[in-house]
Chain A
Amino acid sequence: MRHLLSTKDMSRDDAITLLDIAEDMADVADREVKKLPTLRGKTVVNLFFEDSTRTRISFEAAAKRLSADVINFSAKGSSVSKGESLKDTAQTLAAMGADAVVIRHPASGAPHVLAESGWIDAGIINAGDGMHEHPTQALLDAFTIRRRLHQGGARGKGLDGVTVTIVGDILHSRVARSNVWLLTTLGAHVTFVAPPTLLPMDLTGWPAEVGFDLDAAIDSGPDVVMMLRIQLERMNAAFFPNSREYSRRWGLDDERFARLAPTSIVMHPGPMNRGLEISSAAADSAGSTVREQVANGVSVRMAALYLLLSGDREDS
């Protein structure tokens, strides 16, 4: 694997291979020594143009468990306007001998530009770009669903026939985008539920059904309900009137949660707005995978780093 930029172009076999390797990586956490020597001598740079402590430390833990050296480069504030361009930053990292760059950037497509530019030869992992994609989040979500459904027997399996309802700000969500491609590739059926203002204007070509009514979606008995974080500043741009109305119509409150089947899985990429898009009862329930998602994130990112940094470069 040369880069990990999006889930859209990922094949089912490649996705399952990555998830299977993540299973092996998860086993490492149960061992006496929770570390592998695999990436000794490799340098992984976490290049974050946006604050995201959660994602950064997850990648950092993953790289360190594989014995890579980790450099954290917080480029926030050194944007183009302040004089340091993506190009200059990339060339700096190349000069420092980075083998892999994990990039978080507010501009959609920035990881793609970095990978295609020739500025740097390192493998690029997209850790979230604008409103475009967040592939490792989708992979950890898929991993989490697969583990919940199959426990120890998850290896080699897809998500065939699993119904997933993604609720909230689809328009601005890179998590929703990466998930719709990956989950569908793995055989799941995805439904978006959101206010019309928070859906992309034209969903032609997206493998998802669309609804505006969360109650109907709940009553259809989905296997997985994934709640997205709602940014309160969206109110000011007239996407919805206020948080009370949003919560009432599109929040997973106690009453809706109670109507879900006991086997339903409740997911949230975090950080949560408790009481807004998800109630505490739902977030803390046995069906909630919120904490597993965090643990699984490290395993999935280890698998991604392994696939990116092992093997002949010319080969991929």
Chain B
Amino acid sequence: MARTVLNQADITRALTRISHEILESNRGADNLVILGIPTRGVVLAQRIAETIRRIEPAATGVRVGSLDVTMYRDDLAHTRTRTPSRTHVPGSIEGATVVLVDDVLYSGRTIRAALDALGDHGRPTVVRLAVLVDRGHRELPIRADFVGKNLPSSTDERINLHLLEVDGDEFVSIDGGDGPAHVGAENEDAS
């Protein structure tokens, strides 16, 4: 049985808070590049960028794009062939503050791949990480700077994260760990 832990309003509130935190830590929107990791991270990045523009209408400098990490993964030989998604880096990231946005943070391998991918586009001054859900179980020394919700979970549980633009509805839920094991079915790799 899936148990809903965030509804649509919760998600909106969390993204609004994250947007404020980003502005605060960056001391405004100057030189800010928000890059979502496909598929749902891109949606979240766009929403964060919109929120920032709404909070600070003068912040015209905020840029938003997407960063696909498929070609940088370390598990390409072990899973089905993945079809890459579009990468769109808006302008130069040289000297910018880049905020990477993903839906669920789990092992940290996607973010490792994203950092490598980002490096091939240029050298930002600062890279931050924003995620909607952090479910723990890191396999690499990576942590998020901005977190919508910490959801401690067991590895045989499954986190479902739906967004309107992608799925037609919107919530975060957990499937219990007593059913069939979802080994490796981490959401951050399901895109």
Contacts and interface: CB of A to CB of B under 8 A. Distances in A.
A309 B119 CA distance: 24
B81 A24 contact: no
Given A36-B71, A37-B116, A310-B77, A24 B86 contact: yes
A32 B83 CA distance: 23
Contacts of B119: 33
Contacts, number: 51
B116 to A, nearest CB: 7
Nearest to A313: B77
B82 interface: yes
A38 to B, nearest CB: 4
Contact of B120 (A33, A66, A307, A310): A33
B95 interface: no
A306 interface: yes
B3 interface: no
Interface in A211-265: none
Contacts of A38: 71-72, 76
A33 B119 CA distance: 8
A316 B122 contact: no
A82 interface: no
A167 to B, nearest CB: 35
Interface residues of B, number: 19
Contacts of B82: 310-311
A312 B71 contact: no
B89 to A, nearest CB: 8
A273 to B, nearest CB: 39
Given A24-B86, A37-B116, A38-B76, A307 B71 contact: no
Contact of B71 (A20, A37, A155, A315): A37
Nearest to A302: B71
Contacts of A124: none
A316 B80 CA distance: 8
Report which residue of A37, A155, A310 has the largest number of chain B beta carbons within 10 angstroms of its beta carbon: A310
B72 A311 contact: no
A43 to B, nearest CB: 13
A191 to B, nearest CB: 33
Q: Is the interface of B mostly helix, strand, loop or mixed?
A: loop
B157 interface: no
B182 interface: no
B120 A312 contact: no
Nearest to A315: B80
A15 to B, nearest CB: 13
B79 interface: yes
Interface in A1-21: 1, 17, 20-21
A310 B81 contact: yes
B81 A1 contact: yes
Interface in B40-81: 68, 71-72, 76-81
Given A32-B121, A38-B71, A310 B76 contact: yes
A140 to B, nearest CB: 19
3 smallest beta-carbon distances between A and B, as pairs:
A311-B81, A33-B120, A310-B76
Given A21-B84, A24-B68, A38-B76, 12 more contacts: A17-B83, A20-B83, A24-B84, A31-B120, A32-B120, A37-B116, A310-B77, A311-B76, A311-B81, A312-B77, A312-B78, A312-B80
